[in-house]
Amino acid sequence: MTKLLRTFYNVSKHLTSPPTKLALVVRGDLKMSKGKTAAQCAHAAVICVQDSQESNNERNRELLQSWLAMGQPKIVLKVDKYEELMKLQEESSRKGVTAALVQDAGRTQLAAGTATVLGIGPDTVENIDKLVGHLKLL
């Protein structure tokens, strides 16, 4: 019962918060397998959560808590090339939005250090959409 009450409290506390989400932006030019893509997206999501938890920015920590309480909404999008991914990372950083670039370890399909996925957020839907609203779904 204690866990149920704690969950209810966390959700109800964030009902008045703006909606949040996390974007996962995949490089389409790499032609990764579905499994590889899923693993790289998982890495990006985990790194974004860790970075938000460890952030000195209280706003980012609060956004993380809201995102966690509301079911961790995510969206997976694609870019056509490395340069687009880097531009998004720079824009995110400039706007104070958590961004985590995943670079492959090079054990299977890609060379070590290949940038594969950029995680952006969690942040408000409004802020995420301003950064990635022009991209297509994967």
DSSP state, residue 80: S
> CA 100 to CA 117: how far, in whole Å?
8
User: What is the fold, at CATH topology level, of the domain defined by 18-137?
Assistant: Bit1 (3.40.1490)
Cβ(99)–Cβ(55) below 8 Å: no
User: Does residue 18 have a cis bond before it (omega within 30 degrees)?
Assistant: no
Q: How far apart are CA 67 and CA 71, in angstroms?
A: 7
Torsion, Cα 131 78 138 68, to 10 degrees, reads -40
Domain ranges in the chain are 18-137
pLDDT by residue for the chain (138 residues), tens digit each?
Answer: 566 556 555 555 556 689 999 999 999 999 999 999 999 999 999 999 999 999 999 999 999 999 999 999 999 999 999 999 999 999 999 999 999 999 999 999 999 999 999 999 999 999 999 999 999 999
